[in-house]
Amino acid sequence: MLDRNFETQSVDPMFLEPECGLGWYDRKDAKLELVLGVQSPYEATESIAYLLGNARAPFKPAHINTQFTYVGGGFGGRDHTPFVLYVALAAMFFPGKPVRLAHDRYQQFQGGIKRHPFKIRSQIGVDRVTGKITAFAADHVLDGGGLQNFSPNVATVAATAAIGIYDVPKVDVTTVALHSRGVTAGSMRGYGTIQTMTALEVLIDEAAAALPLNPIEFRRRNALKQNGRTMTGNPYVVSVRTPEILDKLEMHPIWRQRAEEKARLKSSGTLVGTGVACVTKDYGTGADTSLGRVELSPDGKISIICDHVEMGNGIGTALANRVALHLGGVADEVSVARVDTFQPLGLVTSGDVRAMDEKTQDNLAKNPRWVPEISTATSASIGAHVGTHAAAEAARVIFQHGLWPAALALWHIPPTDPRAKDSAKASWKGGQLTVAGLPPLDLPALAAAAYAHNLVTGAIAHSFCRWAWARARFQVGNEQHRAEIDALAIRKGGGAFAALKRTSVWFPPTDNNRIGTAFASTCGTLVRVEIERASGAIRIAKAYSVFECGQPLVPEVVLGQAQGGFAMGVGYALLENLPPLEGGPGNGQWNLGQYLVARGSDLPLHDLEIEMLPPLTPDEPPKGMAEVVMIPVVPALLNAIFDATGHRFQSLPVTQATLKGVIA
């Protein structure tokens, strides 16, 4: 049995664009105009409306029009940020004047949302004979800072991630988020799990060494398999590929050559160490939505509008690629972070999506315009899986009820012909719709025909996911359209959008709210470090990360996220640190001269290998991966440092100065 304490530090998301916003209030029309950049547009509009809703005249606007922009990075720190409230207030206090509120970097460090620091006590019991983990217990204490932000949620997600990739028969985790005088902590990439899984993977390494057992073999013996039950009692409903990832790690030259490399540089005053870690990170929050609007012009141009936010996550490109699978062409226009263009659906919502019982949901669902949530934040690595889903389904409607019947018309195939049912046999090749034995048709010709025959040329869809997609049927002309959406509006030819009546709606059971998580992706990382004995300077000589993400919508963006996650992991492990209270960022004195993030020279720019496992099947849905790729980097580095120095650090960050202190 091992009983260990681990501490993590406060860090800043350090998105490069400091928070800013514009506002102006016209007292005559009582109209408040805002331009904001957040990860959660719909929540921001609701918050501002709530803020000003009970104000007295002349401080109560009759109308609030908020436009949302692309943002220069988010990493969680722009989800549920109070900054937007200050922009709205500033505009209200200076009626008739344009107001700009913009943090400089000192203010961003001072007022921006931070990652929660954790104090973690972990206890693990392992059977020496079998090498199996018999029990795990942990106590987490989070410092939430001065304002309650996402602390309860971060604490919960952290706790359900506390056993990482493992299948442990007895687990007891207590998690408490405390209010303090510190800077406010909220959402940040990793969302509590980077803290708990770093502590866990360092502990696992120590346990393997104590047995002794090869650390990858120890992980393999204890890894949760497909259909195994997570800590909260449910299995993941997506692929679990931990064994495959562990095999990849074990076979990699960084791992296999670790002893030779250690010996090779022994006489040079350089300490060499190799570390491994493997984690699984959930994606989705258990109540996620997307809104998508796709339109086709008479000449075949595609436009997409989505409520999710582009902040460097590549959702604009992912939307275009996913819609192209259905419509055969990459969109000419993609507009994101929009909450103002889906009115034809006439959506309404009520009740607490995370707390309602089944009977309440069934009753509410009788209203065909009711959905459990209207629009949720771009967070929790859901960009690919959820963010693009509604637009993809809207595109499918256009194909099925617009382009396909247009193709039949151009091929002179009547609806009674058996081939009219063969839409599934059609495929897009080089921008042309092809079916064996029929002449290929290009998108402009199909679009023109869809307009000429007054077929579907635009669709707006809403989707809801509670560890499963809501689904419903809609009557489109003479056909029933069944899809994983809960609201649909269509446009025929050049007409106006009209909502369709949904029937047979199925919402995922409210009992799913009791699941910790059901979607997760796995990533393993190997790192080799070289530490200069005299100075404590550490260099990451080589690294390898291998992960799974289902079907990647934009492989280049997935690769970029993995490389960026690696860099952010290095910063968290070795560089970034905000001290608590008086010496910390609340004093308004912090900037990048003092707060160090990873630069190119901190990284193995030419020796970082990223391997993305191919999807299990061609139709495996995309899985969230933007967070999981960051997490194992941190414990792998700590484990490599142990291998090099013999010192097992139990707090972050491990800086050059702390390293020098233990190896001097």
Partner 1 sequence: MTRLAITINGRAIEPLEVRDDLSMNDFLREYLGMTGTKFGCGAAQCLSCAIIVDNPDGTSYASPTCVVPAASFDGKAIRTIEGHAKNGELTALQKAFIDHFAFQCGYCTAGFLNEAQVLLERLAKKPVARAALEETIAEALDGQICRCTGYIKYHQAVRDVILADPQRYLA
Q: Which residues bind partner 1 (CB under 8 A)?
A: 14-18, 70-73, 75, 104-106, 311-314, 554, 556-557, 559-568, 591-593, 597, 599-601, 603, 605-606, 608
Q: Which is nearer to partner 1, 418 or 593 (CB)?
A: 593
Q: Which is nearer to partner 1, 120 or 603 (CB)?
A: 603
Rounded-to-integer distance, Cα 430 and Cα 427, Å:
10
Write the CA distances from 70 to 14, 216, 316, 340, 387, integer angstroms: 16, 42, 10, 15, 15
Closest C-alpha among 190, 218, 56 to residue 130: 218
Q: Which is nearer to partner 1, 186 or 564 (CB)?
A: 564
Write the CA distances from 149 to 290, 576, 596, integer angstroms: 23, 22, 25
Q: Which SS3 state, helix, strand or coil, does residue 288 take?
A: strand
Write the CA distances from 662 to 531, 641, 657, integer angstroms: 12, 11, 9
Q: Which is nearer to partner 1, 210 or 605 (CB)?
A: 605
Q: What Rg, from alpha-carbon coordinates, does the chain have?
A: 26
Least Å distance, CB 543 to partner 1, is: 11
Q: Which is nearer to partner 1, 512 or 545 (CB)?
A: 545
DSSP annotation of 149: S
Q: Which is nearer to partner 1, 36 or 163 (CB)?
A: 36
Rounded-to-integer distance, Cα 370 and Cα 273, Å:
57
Least Å distance, CB 590 to partner 1, is: 10
Rounded-to-integer distance, Cα 94 and Cα 162, Å:
48
Contact 453, 464 (CB under 8 A): no
Contact 272, 529 (CB under 8 A): yes
Least Å distance, CB 539 to partner 1, is: 13
Least Å distance, CB 324 to partner 1, is: 17
Question: Which pair of structure tokens corresponds to residue 128?
Answer: 């020496």
Q: Which is nearer to partner 1, 24 or 411 (CB)?
A: 24
Least Å distance, CB 475 to partner 1, is: 42
Q: Could you tell me how far CA 220 lies from the centroid of its own chain?
A: 27
Q: Which is nearer to partner 1, 449 or 553 (CB)?
A: 553
DSSP annotation of 378: S
Contact 25, 96 (CB under 8 A): yes
Q: Which is nearer to partner 1, 373 or 530 (CB)?
A: 530
Least Å distance, CB 563 to partner 1, is: 3
Contact 622, 551 (CB under 8 A): yes
Least Å distance, CB 435 to partner 1, is: 34
Question: Which pair of structure tokens corresponds to residue 60?
Answer: 């109560």
Peptide bond into 169 cis (omega under 30): no
Least Å distance, CB 570 to partner 1, is: 9
Contact 468, 237 (CB under 8 A): yes
Least Å distance, CB 490 to partner 1, is: 34
Contacts of 11 (CB under 8 A, 6+ apart): 114, 115, 188, 571, 572, 576, 577, 578
Rounded-to-integer distance, Cα 526 and Cα 255, Å:
7
Least Å distance, CB 553 to partner 1, is: 13
Mapping DSSP onto H, E and C, the string for 84-132 reads HHHHHHHHHHCCCCCEEEECCHHHHHHHCCECCCEEEEEEEEEECCCCE
Closest C-alpha among 18, 186, 180, 185 to residue 107: 18
Identity of the amino acid at 222? N
Least Å distance, CB 312 to partner 1, is: 3
> Hey, how many other C-beta atoms are within 10 angstroms of the C-beta on 299?
12
Expressed in angstroms, the distance from the first to the final Cα of the chain is 31
Write the CA distances from 454 to 183, 480, 492, integer angstroms: 58, 18, 5
Question: Which pair of structure tokens corresponds to residue 94?
Answer: 């200076």
Q: Which is nearer to partner 1, 450 or 633 (CB)?
A: 633
Phi, then psi, of 251 in degrees rounded to 5: -85, -10
Q: Which is nearer to partner 1, 414 or 593 (CB)?
A: 593
Least Å distance, CB 119 to partner 1, is: 27
Q: Which is nearer to partner 1, 69 or 196 (CB)?
A: 69
Residue that the structure tokens 């256009």 belong to: 398
Q: Which is nearer to partner 1, 237 or 559 (CB)?
A: 559
Least Å distance, CB 173 to partner 1, is: 31
Q: Which is nearer to partner 1, 14 or 443 (CB)?
A: 14
Least Å distance, CB 566 to partner 1, is: 6
Least Å distance, CB 148 to partner 1, is: 26
Q: Which is nearer to partner 1, 347 or 554 (CB)?
A: 554
Rounded-to-integer distance, Cα 244 and Cα 635, Å:
20
